[in-house]
């Protein structure tokens, strides 16, 4: 391959990396695959390129292949130990898998090389946050913002810290910067309809645009609040949430699918509503999702005659979820859960994992989890749900079903605690089970087994 061709590939890779940063839709995985192939082709010609190893490792990180990503970025650093971008990327990866102390070491080294690296400071702030050193985290973020008031990553990090401290007024204001940090959020809005910035809505129609699935579930309560202030709300929903939200919205809320054509006076992203409503931890609105009655009747036969009905879901989750416990994969975690906690004739167990399961003691409900109106109907029949931090857990919690969510010791702001032990501010009937980084999977399910015994004794 000629040098000129390699140069063209590098330019194409650089452009794709920029596109991947902006893109947050179904197109992103395709862009990641294309960029990965190009990076691998370049390395065939330049096998000692630290920058390309770093890029390729970051692409594997985005694909959640953390082990391979770590190996590739470490290879980049073995070629050039002063590669600040590679150090920051490896630190970000370590944060993602819960190795915050190692992340701090990498970030501190990056700051020794470039003391003004805002990415390094934000990475370090995230590590401090997860190590419960929030004052240090805030100090770092404010330092970045003092030097650069328009740094979107710093504002976004500041938002997460503030929301985790239940400072909602600051947190939701700072969260508005996500529109610049993740520009695809704005790109996915309806064209040529102005943004709502808190104007009077008494005779207006407003479109509410979704963000993540979990956020649509959590923030549906704010759609209700906006409906009280406006003539009509058009609530754009993802396909799998459409029927469930349609069941739960008042008459002046029109629930539509993402592809439907809509028109309105204003539009807003769902995570922006609390900022404009001046929401605090004290005036957080409540809202309980109700299942479709007809779907409940259809699924009732699965639960007839059964007692102590416990559902579980250990599929992948959000920011505070246990992606792994001491690097144990989800499948192994599930097998251990079954052996220790779910092998008992005293309870009726129901699996809401994506994977099908065949067991005399466990009823498989995996075919109900993809359409959330059907998912809500089966959850309604349970006495308890035990889950990682994922959409299943948030739907159950939003239904006010007793839910136990397994999460990292320092979980994300969406699972911020209320004033009760292990309670959740957003979901009054949800218990947060926090797991230390060094906790074994056996002890996790020993604890679950004990809690189940205590609840149903």
Indicate whether 339 and 413 sit together in one domain: yes
Cβ atoms 90, 74 nearer than 8 A = yes
Query: Which is higher by pLDDT, 383 or 5?
Result: 383
89 and 163 co-located in one domain:
yes
| Short-list 145, 426, 447, CA closest to 325 | 447
Alpha-carbon span 272 to 264, nearest angstrom = 17
Cα angle 104-65-176, degrees, rounded to a multiple of 5: 60
State the residue range of the domain holding 19. 3-184
Segment 275-282 shows an average pLDDT of 96
- Is the residue at 402 inside a domain? yes
Ramachandran sector of residue 305 (left: φ over 0; alpha: ψ -120 to 50; beta: rest)? left
Would 282 be classed as within a structural domain? Answer: no
Residues 160 and 270 placed together within one structural domain of the fold: no
In a domain, 281, yes or no: no
Strands, E assignment, 375-448: 384-388, 403-408, 430-435
| CA distance from start to end of the chain | 71
Q: Is it the case that residue 270 has pLDDT exceeding 90?
A: yes
Separation CA 163–CA 73 (nearest Å): 32
CA–CA distance, 5 with 399 (Å, rounded to integer): 57
The DSSP string of 113-162 is H-TT-HHHHHHHHHHHHHTT-HHHHHHHHHHHHHH-TT-HHHHHHHHHHH
* CA–CA distance, 430 with 309 (Å, rounded to integer): 17
pLDDT digits (tens, 9 = 90+) for 342-391: 666 788 999 998 877 767 778 899 999 989 999 999 999 999 999 988 99
**Residue 179 and residue 193 in one domain:** no
Rounded CA-CA distance 373/87 in Å is: 44
Q: What pLDDT sits at residue 446?
A: 80
- Contact call for residues 294 and 333 (beta carbons, < 8 A): no
> For residue range 157-168, what is the model confidence (pLDDT) as tens digits?
999 999 988 999
- Among 119, 153, 184, residue at a domain's last position: 184
Query: Is residue 284 a part of any domain in this protein?
Result: no
CATH of the domain at 160: 1.25.40.10
pLDDT at position 322? 45
Specify if 199 maps to a domain: yes
User: Are both 179 and 236 inside the same structural domain?
Assistant: no
Strand order through the sheet with 266-269? 253-257, 232-237, 205-209, 266-269
Half-sphere exposure for 347 (CA within 13 Å, toward CB):
26
pLDDT, tens digit, 9 for 90 and up, residues 32-42: 999 999 999 99
Least confident of 64-68, 268-272, 401-405: 64-68
Q: Which residue has the tokens 């630290």?
A: 50
Eight-class DSSP state of 241: H
- How many CA atoms lie less than 13 Å away from 107 in the CB half-sphere? 24
What is residue 350's three-state secondary structure? strand
pLDDT of 385 reads: 97
Those residues whose C-beta lies under 8 Å from the C-beta of residue 252, and which sit 6 or more positions away, are: 227, 230, 231, 232, 233
Structure token digits, residue 286: 């409540």
- Phi-psi domain of 411 (left: phi exceeds 0; alpha: psi -120 through 50; beta: other): beta
Q: Does residue 137 sit in the same domain as residue 16?
A: yes
Q: Based on the structure, what is the number of domains in the chain? A: 3
Q: Do 219 and 122 sit in the same domain of this protein?
A: no
Contact between residue 64 and residue 74 where contact means Cβ atoms under 8 Å apart: no
Domain membership of residue 286 (yes or no) is: no
Query: What strands lie across the sheet with 309-313, from one edge to the other?
Result: 362-364, 348-351, 309-313, 384-388, 403-408, 430-435
Last residue of a domain, one of 276, 302, 326: 276
224 and 124 inside one domain: no
Mean pLDDT over residues 323-347, rounded?
54
Q: Looking at the predicted structure, is the pLDDT value of residue 319 above 50?
A: no
Whole-model pTM?
0.84
Please state, in angstroms and rounded to a whole number, the distance separating the CA atoms of residues 379 and 97: 30
- Of the residues 217, 243, 276, the one at which a domain ends: 276
* 393 located within any domain: yes
């Amino acid at each position: 391959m000629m040098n000129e061709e390699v140069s063209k590939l590098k330019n194409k890779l650089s452009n794709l990396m920029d596109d991947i940063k902006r893109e947050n839709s179904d197109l992103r995985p395709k862009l990641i695959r294309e960029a990965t192939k190009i990076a691998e082709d370049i390395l065939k010609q330049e096998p000692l390129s630290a920058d390309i190893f770093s890029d390729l490792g970051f692409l594997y990180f985005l694909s959640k292949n953390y082990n391979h990503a770590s190996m590739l970025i470490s290879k980049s650093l073995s070629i050039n130990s002063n590669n600040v971008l590679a150090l920051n990327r490896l630190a970000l990866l370590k944060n993602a898998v819960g190795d915050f102390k190692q992340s701090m070491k990498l970030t501190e080294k990056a700051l020794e090389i470039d003391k003004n690296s805002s990415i390094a400071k934000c990475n370090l702030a995230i590590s401090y946050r997860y190590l419960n050193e929030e004052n240090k985290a805030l100090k770092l973020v404010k330092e970045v913002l003092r030097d650069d008031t328009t740094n979107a990553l710093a504002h976004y990090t500041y938002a997460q810290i503030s929301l985790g401290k239940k400072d909602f007024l600051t947190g939701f204001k700072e969260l508005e910067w996500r529109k610049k940090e993740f520009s695809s959020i704005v790109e996915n809005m309806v064209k040529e309809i102005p943004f709502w910035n808190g104007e009077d809505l008494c005779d207006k129609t407003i479109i509410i645009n979704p963000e993540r699935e979990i956020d649509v579930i959590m923030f549906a309560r704010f759609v209700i609040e906006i409906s009280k202030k406006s003539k009509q709300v058009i609530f754009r929903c993802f396909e799998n949430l459409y029927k469930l939200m349609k069941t739960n919205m008042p008459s002046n809320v029109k629930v539509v699918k993402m592809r439907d054509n809509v028109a309105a006076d204003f539009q807003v992203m769902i995570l922006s509503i609390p900022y404009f409503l001046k929401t605090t931890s004290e005036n957080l609105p409540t809202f309980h999702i109700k299942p479709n009655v007809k779907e409940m009747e259809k699924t009732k036969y699965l639960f007839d005659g059964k007692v102590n009905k416990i559902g579980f879901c250990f599929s992948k989750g959000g920011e505070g979820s246990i992606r792994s416990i001491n690097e144990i994969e989800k499948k192994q975690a599930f097998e251990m859960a079954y052996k220790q906690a779910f092998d008992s004739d005293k309870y009726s167990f129901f699996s809401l994992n994506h994977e099908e399961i065949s067991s005399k003691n466990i009823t498989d409900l995996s075919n109900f989890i993809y359409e959330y109106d059907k998912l809500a109907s089966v959850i309604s029949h349970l006495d308890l749900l035990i889950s990682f931090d994922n959409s299943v857990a948030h739907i159950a919690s939003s239904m006010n079903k007793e839910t136990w969510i397994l999460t990292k010791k320092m979980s994300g702001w969406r699972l911020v605690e209320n004033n009760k032990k292990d309670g959740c501010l957003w979901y009054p009937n949800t218990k947060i089970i926090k797991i230390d980084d060094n906790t074994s999977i056996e002890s996790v399910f020993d604890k679950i087994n004990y809690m189940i015994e205590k609840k149903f004794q």
